[in-house]
Amino acid sequence: MKKALKIIGVVLLVIIIALFLTPILFKGSIEKMVKKTANDNVNAQVEWSSLDLSLFRNFPNASLSLEDVCVINKAPFEGDTLVYAKEFDLAMGIMQLFKDEGLSIDQIYLNEAFINVKIDSLGNTNYDIAKTSESSETSPAKGEEPFQLNLNHYEINSSKINYLDESGKIFLKLKDFNHTGDGDFTASVFTLETHTDSKISFDFDGTNYLRNNSIVLDADLEMDLENMKFTFLDNEAVVNQLPLEFEGYVQVFEDYNDIDLQFSTPSSDFKNFLALIPEAYASNLDGVNTTGDFQLEGLIKGRVDEQYIPKLDISASSSNASFQYPDLPKKVEDISLNLEIKNETGLVDDTFINFNDVKFRIDEDRFVGSGSVKNLTSNMLIDLKADGRLNLANISKAYPVDLEQELSGFLDADLTANFDMNSIEREAYKNVKANGSMKLSKFDYASPELAKPLHIEVATVDFTTDAVRLNNFEMTAGSTDLKMTGDLTNLLGFAFSDQALKGSFNATSNSFDVADFMVEDEVTSETASSSSAEAIKIPGFLDILLNFDAKSVKYDNLTLKNAKGSLALKDEKAVLNNVNADIFGGNIKLDGIVSTADSPNFDMKLSLNTIKILEAFQQMELVKGLAPIAQALNGIASSEIALKGNLTRDLMPIYTSLSGNALAKIISAQVEQNKMPLVSNLNNQFQFFDFDKLKVNDLIAKLKFEDGAISTEDFDFKLDDVNVMVSGSHNFDNTMNYNLKFNVPAKYFGDEVGGKLAQLSDTDISEMNVAVPVSLSGSFKNPKIQVNTQNAIQSLTQKLIEVQKEKAKQTITDKAGEQINKLLGGGKSKDSTATDSTKTKEEVLKDKVKDIFGGFTNKKKNN
């Protein structure tokens, strides 16, 4: 006995050692077999990060596990991921590891997978990747396959499936997808027991019909693999919280599929209707009191191929129903509905939808609607009718809808419309039959996207065949009031055919403050500079003309009075035309375009007429950049500006991109040197006049803007009777490079200096001017000023010589030189080693002028 136990123990030890060693010994050969099989049978790139072989994970079966499995498409979907799985497990009998060729797979586990199915507009499918036997590098022997799916269990866990059909404009998305199946796939006919749960979203032709709706399905299917017929036996599905029972079959043929399915609700409780509403809006149905019934049933039967769809007969109905949530004060009563979706031919275009007697009541407010939709794929026919009144405040009191802001006010509707989509798309509105009205009154709305709560006292819309008329619109927000009337010519085209919303309106306001509609941007600077930061965009769906008349418009720190003009919004552009307003004690006129279609840009023509210079400088950033010197001018000016350039994402000018020109005229202004370092420093450079006492009259300057630089055409102006010539340029960063020439009358030199010059020239110099060149660099806040005294001395000397030549009518004699030396005191020049007797008479005269000129350019006159 002891010997037998000892033998058994040794055998068990050998078996355990073998279980440990087998994965190590066979891992390499298994991985080579899998790679070879993939390459031989799949027209795609198959990769994985690691392969693991275990005999313990699914004992007594062996387990083959692949991690980070990718199946990547080749042309025409080259580079697209068809399948990715975090983990892909195959379970098989241990003896399969010792076979020379082929593996028999018993179980499959797919975990955290992404399956991306796509059909392009040409009908190509990205899942058709199986190679034909002719294209395989090596074909298996007859009766032998590289993999045999002798499945009895499979799982897909925590996965996501996308299905996109570009030709059919269908997009189906399943997330949090879990599915299990148990059955004997070795039999030709067997029962497959399945469980599925997922979140489902569904879009068709750009319209969303399901969004993250919950679905649970427990289904037993009879699988006839030989005839490819799959029959539903015992089945129950839950869509959101709506239970459904169904039966029937699906059979797959080579050229078409045959479907015969029937479904219905297991009970007629009206709570089933509430369960149809997506979970995000339906809330918990526990404790909800309901009366009345709700029935949903349907038949889907027929052939499915490129031409036909199954015939449809789906209906939902309820009568005299009500519901009330336990924590809400209001009850929804007198609910009736009758919905039908039918197709009697199998042709898609013959599908039609009827919704009749849709009505409900909250307190005394009743609402009734009905309509139909026909010819789904050709020329869709739509018939709608709505009549009733809603107290908007009662919506959240009767239904647990999650609103950012409580609604208030009343909506009254009495509307009928009948039209076809071809007429809408051709804008043949004469074929549209619409009449009735809608009225919104006492409506209050606040939102984080609005700076101030919005109050609409009344908004009345009348519908006619030709247009939608806004008869009355009265709104307030903060300190803003607004009244509008006008027409929308294609509201139905906008609502049903993705057309631009077209209209023309007249608006009036006593006070309009733009800040009442703007919310402060809380995005950090790092985020704002990133590509993900949102930019201000002019809506592309608008084609609107707005004529406005506002007594006061406030934008930032600007206040415009009596603002009139028009604003057109179209193609993501805002066109301003003949906009006039009173501002800065004068008037402004504006024409131009702001576009956000590509990168934001603008092109404007601006007229400023008889404005107060200091007010414009203090309140307009553009003036500070264009004319920084305006800071030191107190007076009246006019300007014509043509300017274009790029804008930031929040529609502020990018100064380095600006180009254009301006014509500026200072009608009259007093210089205030203490307002600006440049003027103050100029004042300190000259003895002969005080800038604080000077006036500028009739200055006209032409400016040119390019790449952030402002250059001037040469111009001149007068500071009292001092003529100043100007040339040069500056930038929006206020750096400058200007040349000025002051033509200074001799009277500014003072009696002492003037008397010496008079004696020197032996004439009356009251009509004489001295040219004083000045160069400006640095910035307007930190200027660098250089007075060119050498040129001034040369100019004055030449004038004195010319005067003497005219007086004497002869060459300057030595006697005249001696008289000049005697008058001026003789002696040697301070800056020369030569004696006066060795210099020419012009040099002597120049030295004397230099001495005199230094007395009135180096310091201010003492008071």
Question: Tens digits of per-residue pLDDT, 721-770?
Answer: 778 888 888 887 788 888 888 887 766 665 544 555 555 555 555 566 77
First-residue to last-residue Cα distance in the chain: 135
- The residues facing 187 across adjacent strands are none
Q: In whole angstroms, what separates CA 627 from the centre of its chain?
A: 34
Q: Alpha-carbon torsion 72, 75, 80, 83, what sign?
A: negative
Question: Is 604 within the bounds of a domain?
Answer: no
For residue 831, is it within any domain? yes
SS3 49: coil
Pairing of strands 769-778, 365-374: unpaired
How many CB atoms are located within 10 Å of the residue 616 CB? 23
- Give the residue among 331, 321, 421 at the shortest CA–CA distance from 376: 421
In a domain, 800, yes or no: yes
**Weakest mean pLDDT among 20-34, 51-65, 767-781:** 20-34
CA–CA distance, 537 with 573 (Å, rounded to integer): 9
Comparing 252-261, 627-636, 753-762, 822-831, the range with the smallest average pLDDT is 822-831
Q: Which residues contact 143 (CB under 8 A, 6 or more apart)?
A: none
- Of the two residues 799 and 530, the one the predictor is more confident about is 799
Which of 76-80, 523-527, 856-860 has the highest average model confidence (pLDDT)?
76-80
Strand partners, 389: 412
Q: In this predicted structure, what is the pLDDT of residue 299?
A: 94
Inter-CA distances, 145 with 103, 106, 185, 421, Å: 8, 15, 16, 55
Q: DSSP letters along 742-777, please?
A: EEEEGGGG-HHHHHHHHHHHTS--TT-EEEEEEEEE
Mean pLDDT across 585-591? 90
Residues 119, 167 contacting (CB under 8 angstroms)? yes
**Angstrom distance (rounded) from CA 586 to CA 616:** 10
Res 189 pLDDT > 50: yes
Mean pLDDT, residues 209-229: 86
The answer to pTM > 0.85 is: no
Statement: residue 667 has pLDDT above 70: yes
Q: Extract the tokens encoding 669.
A: 């202004």
Residue 405: band (very low, low, confident or very high) from pLDDT cuts 50, 70, 90: confident
- List beta partners, residue 739: 727, 775
Q: CA torsion sign, 785 to 846 to 832 to 826?
A: negative
The whole-number pLDDT of residue 843 equals 62
pLDDT band at 859 (very low <50, low <70, confident <90, very high): very low
Least confident of 6-15, 28-37, 485-494, 557-566: 6-15
Residue 159 lies in a domain: no
State residue 725 phi and psi, 5-degree precision.
Answer: -95, 135
Q: Using one digit for the tens of pLDDT, what is the confidence trace for 443-497?
A: 988 776 667 888 999 999 888 776 788 889 999 988 999 999 998 877 766 766 6
Comparing 385-394, 414-423, 743-752, the range with the smallest average pLDDT is 743-752
CA distance 397 to 461: 27
Question: Which H/E stretch holds residue 453?
Answer: none
Return the pLDDT at 258.
Answer: 92
- pLDDT tens digit sequence for 805-835: 666 554 444 555 555 455 444 444 444 444 4
Tokens of 585: 């004690």
Residue 223 resides in a domain: no
Q: How far apart are CA 709 and CA 711, in angstroms?
A: 6
- Exposed / middle / buried, residue 255 (Cβ in 10 Å: 0-12, 13-18, 19+): exposed
- Tell me the DSSP string of 218-269: EEEEEEETTTTEEEEEEEEEEETTEEEEEEEEEEE-SS-EEEEEEEE-SS-B
The Cα 349–Cα 377 span in angstroms is: 5
HSE-CB for 351 with a 13 A CA cutoff:
16
Q: Shortest CA distance to 728 belongs to which of 741, 742, 704, 711?
A: 711
| pLDDT greater than 80 at residue 47 | yes
Whether 327 is covered by a domain: the verdict is no
Tell me how far apart the alpha carbons of residues 605 and 83 are, in angstroms, rounded to a whole number: 58
Is 56 within 8 Å of 27 (Cβ atoms)? no
User: What whole-number distance in Å separates Cα of residue 516 and Cα of residue 533?
Assistant: 23
**pLDDT of 787-804, one tens digit each?**
776 666 666 666 666 666
Contact 790, 783 (CB under 8 A): no
d(CA 319, CA 367): 15
Does 583 or 493 have the greater pLDDT score? 583
Alpha-carbon distance of 435 to 418, in angstroms, equals 9
Contact (CB, 8 A) for 646 and 676: no
pLDDT for 693 equals 61
Is residue 827 assigned to a domain?
Answer: yes
The DSSP secondary structure of 797-862, one letter per residue, reads: HHHHHHHHHHHHSSPPPHHHHHHHHHHHT-S--TT-SS-GGGS-HHHHHHHHHHHHHHHHHSSPPP
Range of the domain at 841: 747-768+789-863
Predicted confidence at residue 6, as pLDDT, reads 44
Backbone torsions φ then ψ of 730, nearest 5 degrees: -150, 170
CA–CA dist 426, 497 (Å, integer): 10
Q: Calculate mean pLDDT across residues 1-21.
A: 43
Cβ–Cβ < 8 Å for 582, 608: no
Distance CA 630, CA 640 (A): 16
Q: Please tell me what DSSP assigns to residue 25.
A: H
Burial class (CB in 10 A: 0-12, 13-18, 19+), 718: middle
Phi, psi of 2, deg, nearest 5: -65, -35
Query: What does the pLDDT read at residue 818?
Result: 56
Residues 321 and 291 sit within 8 Å (Cβ to Cβ): yes
Instruction: Give yes or no for residue 199 having a pLDDT over 80.
Output: yes
Question: What's the DSSP call for residue 120?
Answer: -
| Main-chain phi, psi angles of 11, to 5 degrees | -60, -45
- Is the omega angle on the peptide bond into residue 23 within 30 degrees of 0, that is, cis? no
Identify the residue with better confidence: 109 or 766: 109
Residues 432, 419: contact at Cβ < 8 Å? yes
Number of independent structural domains in the chain: 1
How many other CB atoms sit within 10 Å of the CB of residue 383? 15
- Is residue 814 in a domain? yes
